[in-house]
Structure 1
């Protein structure tokens, strides 16, 4: 009996210890999530202000279309409201504080009999491609979660016709797919109007610089200082610059100073040193407050964040929390550029989400050459928005197209019914920017009209959007890929490579050799395309070795 009683006491003690351990782990897990901002809301929440939840539900519906789970119909003029359904909850994915991204499932092949509309916001970010370039240059292969097809395609220049009037021009083209027999690729290209330096509006920049201890490496703070000085060099005399830093706390380094005072600005930039923690959320709020003082319809007011993206201190820890604190400033017209630097704890997911929600652009700087490209050669597009809340809706004719798939833009999806809802946030186009989207389609029947492409956009600071419409006829499709432009062939090479490397199910039979052949024939004398071809050859070599060793490629 004594032995039984002793065992009972031991069992009670053991159960008590287990209960305490579970409670401790629960609290610890919550603290870790708060620390790194990796909750489900932070990582797979609204991708666009005011419209993200709708966009996510739209993506969930489209993912089920091939199985006939939804029949969404609309008129040729505008899509009808989708059938009501309970919002799907995305599965929470474990995410660390390192270089990770809440991966989006690749768009599925969708039957036009179930949904003939494809709607998305434009995107001119390029960080995903630059990050890929650095990973390959350092001897590795890109992480699947870091690959966003649209950012790879939109990194490159395309020779689209300049707009004769208005802010942009649409270029449509189609040809047989080099990857999937019996299907075609259709390219939708937008070319924004260019602005000469003398045509730019006065600009006020607020540099928000991460000076935490992790920024002490040569490819971080020193490269950020180089990038800022390049940007200052490209400004006009009527422009101004302010400088704010954040580490364990926030510091106002320089009040608004004329861009003509180069010596003062350069001295303040050169004097920056690294050390301490990272209070990014607090710094962002103060930077926006400074930028809002200069915001107005006749002035560009932009916050430029330069960071390795490792935010682990401060009141606001997640993208949602940080943007919520400054959302009013965004509504006043303040725009945002996020500049990623370095590796290790770089938060690619956080930088991309901040740029999307802040009406801005996201870049990754891996070298002084890339800094010159973003802040010198393409400064007008980086700074000045020529069209905002730009949405594209492609309506495929079921009499001509059996089904389609959009390559990329998964986290830029917009509900079909929200195309003409001007309250739903979308993307921005900077001066001289090009935007490229690629569809894989399967033709059917004998209809003549392939697709109608509608573009809807507002002028900067505007409330109501204007809409343009463009048509692609079957007679306008090329008979062979050889007849297509170098633009289409190169876009196909880049998008195909990205889709293969991210493991898209629909690209399971696609070949990197085919992508390489396409790239070889479409370099068109452009150095950035030639560089991609070299990277692709390295990737092919390494992926073959990886497969031979039992790896994932």
Structure 2
């Protein structure tokens, strides 16, 4: 009886505490409800680059807030005018973190710090043309979730979109510089560094020798995995020239040589082999990489493109080489012979985003995520030349800020592409590649002193695809080139700023703790310029922001992952 009485007493205490907590939360929401809408608000004058500070959440609130879901789609007081109501979409939730398993110990890079020029005037990084992080974000939002913070890479979001950068008149790329007041932090400027690679026509492409390495393990059986990968491979074959060749290797519990190098003109034979693929078994990625690279290396050369294209959900749990480091070590020699790599990700759940990105970076290639047939067409048809053919390798960018004019700076993104300043002119240090027609954009947040005539000097160093010594170009950025207002900047500058700001907020960058999603949305909305991919971004951003507002206004705030 004493035990039962004690149990009833404990239950009564718990119930009492629960009621008090609920009442307290309701009271707080009632008391401060009128101010919650200020957490994500901003004025038009802030967008115009004036000194007014946009209303935004405090660092403490932003570090705690997240949203799980939202119910109604009612308009929220103080939010920007919404477009015509779209079809109902799933409520947003925080995407669960992938479990840490053997070989899956990737830790998100800490955002670049704000650096004083009195301590360091140089910022050096390797270019990056990957776009997987943004495609993953889109997939998450369309399925009602926010992306895990560690999957948000600012540079991949910014470089997903097309910008109107001038084509190079000579050489492999053109460098474009632009600056304007930041819409997020009063008193700071944003500087955009853009590189546009030269474009080449289909008839100008080097002979290409592709080796498809297709994951046919049991986990690939879902409609958004192997079936979508098969369509992607066929799209890529359709874009090849007659002198190009394609080989097909698969891996599951074991590796299988499905098709030897076959002329791309034999589409019926290639398509039949692709269509015959089925899923089942484990995942021996490391073993498959060895065979695929051996095939590609036979056709590598300075006047040829030899590329391995891995199509997988990113899981690897069987085989001698399981970790990314072990896989990379096993193919290092082939990479040095000129074989390049594309990693193409599919599906969710066990997708190893960290593994795919690391493999692409070390394999002198690119990393994409395919969430739809539309994205497959974008990567394998519209951007095929850039996906296949490298026009410049080991491309490094170094920005030297003038101490007189600049008090401090911060590079948005590129954390895992950082290069030691002293290695900028060390041609033995590996860096990034630029494909034909690819563009690369980077943004710096800068605080000026109000003095000096030159803000920075931008240097770009790169090798030809078969070269061993790099050439260097230098570009000055005078203070007079800064726009007085953000509204005067190009639509490309404004849109890239909106994308970078959104990514920085969603990954929880400390420097973006008081930034506003509504500022980003209004900025992006005014820079769509009829581009479908930009319009899609605004739609996704609106869903994220309105979900946050609905969550806060209804009192359904949860405390997880900092959203």
Same fold (TM over 0.5): yes
Partner residue of 1:528? Answer: 533
- Partner Cα distance (2:540, 2:388) in 1: 29
The answer to whether structure 1 residue 152 and structure 2 residue 157 are counterparts is yes
> In structure 2, what is the equivalent of residue 478 of structure 1?
483
Distance 1:388 1:524 in 2: 32
Describe the SS at the equivalent of 1:437: strand
Contact 2:180 2:482 in 1 (8 A): yes
- What is the CA-CA distance between 1:541 and the residue it aligns to? 1.7
* CA separation of 1:99 and 1:482: change in aligned 2, threshold 3 A: farther
For residues 393 and 442 of structure 1, do their structure 2 counterparts lie closer, same or farther at Cα, with a shift above 3 Å needed?
same
Structure 1: how far apart are the matches of 2:158 and 2:312? 24
The count of corresponding residues between Structure 1 and Structure 2 is: 461
2:305 corresponding residue in structure 1: 300
Query: CA–CA distance in 2 between the matches of 1:542 and 1:517?
Result: 16
- Match for residue 329 of structure 2? 324
Shift of 1:102: 1.9
Structure 1 SS opposite 2:338: coil
> Is the aligned partner of 1:211 residue 2:211?
no
The normalised TM-score by structure 2 is 0.81
Deviations 1:254-274 (A, max 9, x none): 000000000000000000000
Q: In structure 2, how many angstroms separate the alpha carbons of the residues matched to 1:271 and 1:129?
A: 31
Matches within 5 A, 1:362-511: 362-511=367-516
Of 118, 127, 132, the residue aligned with 2:132 is 127
In the other structure, the counterpart of 2:171 is 166
The 8 Å contact of residues 103 and 322 in structure 2, kept in 1 or not, is answered as no
Q: Distance in 2 between matches of 1:283 and 1:403?
A: 47
Partner of 1:32: none
Q: In structure 1, the residue corresponding to 2:361 is in which secondary structure? A: helix
- What is the rounded CA distance, in whole Å, between the counterparts of 1:156 and 1:346 in structure 2? 23
Q: Post-superposition shift, 1:461? A: 1.5
Q: How far apart are residue 515 of structure 1 and its match?
A: 0.2
Mapped to 2, the partners of 1:525 and 1:417 lie a distance apart of: 43
Matches within 5 A, 1:5-154: 95-96=100-101, 101-154=106-159
**Equivalent position SS for 1:325:** helix
1:94–1:270: structure 2 CA closer, same or farther, 3 Å change rule? Answer: closer
Q: Distance in 1 between matches of 2:144 and 2:117?
A: 43
Structure 1 match to 2:344: 339
Match of 1:256 in 2: 261
In the other structure, the counterpart of 2:289 is 284
In the alignment, is the contact (CA less than 8 A) between 2:103 and 2:323 conserved in 1? Answer: no
Shift, 1:542, TM fit: 2.0
Say whether residues 1:315 and 2:323 are aligned partners.
no
**Cα gap change, 1:538/1:160 in structure 2, threshold over 3 Å: closer, same or farther?**
same
Offset at 1:311? Answer: 0.6
User: 1:448–1:474: 8 Å Cα contact kept in structure 2?
Assistant: yes
The answer on whether the counterparts of 2:343 and 2:360 sit within 8 Å (CA) in structure 1 is yes
Structure 1 residue 545 displacement after superposition: 4.0
Alignment of 1:550 onto 2:557:
yes
Report the secondary structure of 1:539's partner residue: helix
Does the CA contact (< 8 Å) of 1:101 and 1:348 recur in 2?
no
Question: Take 2:102 and 2:238, find their aligned partners in 1: how far apart are those partners?
Answer: 35
- What is the CA distance between 1:549 and its match in structure 2? 2.1
1:179 has 2:218 as partner:
no
Equivalence for 1:189:
194
Q: Summarize deviations over 1:278-298 as a string: whole Å, max 9, x none.
A: 000000011001100000001
- 1:293-315 superposed Cα distances (whole Å, 9 cap, x missing partner): 00000100000000000111110
> Secondary structure in 2 aligned to 1:387?
strand
Higher relative contact order (CA 8 A, sep 6+): 2
**Matched residue of 1:310: which SS?**
coil
Counterpart of 2:252 in structure 1 is: 247
CA-to-aligned-CA distance 1:521-547 (integer Å, 9 cap, x gap) = 111111100000000001102223455
Q: Is the 8 A contact 1:97 1:345 kept in 2?
A: no
- In 1, Cα distance between the equivalents of 2:362 and 2:104? 20
Measure, in 1, the Cα distance between the counterparts of 2:544 and 2:105. 20
**Partner of residue 88, structure 2:** none
Check whether the contact 1:213–1:275 (CA below 8 A) recurs between aligned residues.
yes
Report the Cα distance in structure 2 between the residues aligned to 1:247 and 1:337, rounded to whole angstroms. 19
- Structure 1 stretches of 5 or more lacking a match? 1-92
CA deviation string 1:507-528 (max 9, x = no partner): 0110000000110111111110
In 2, Cα distance between the equivalents of 1:332 and 1:97? 30
Identify the residue that residue 57 of structure 2 maps to in structure 1. Answer: none
Q: Normalised by the size of structure 1, how large is the TM-score? A: 0.82
Distance 2:413 2:151 in 1: 12
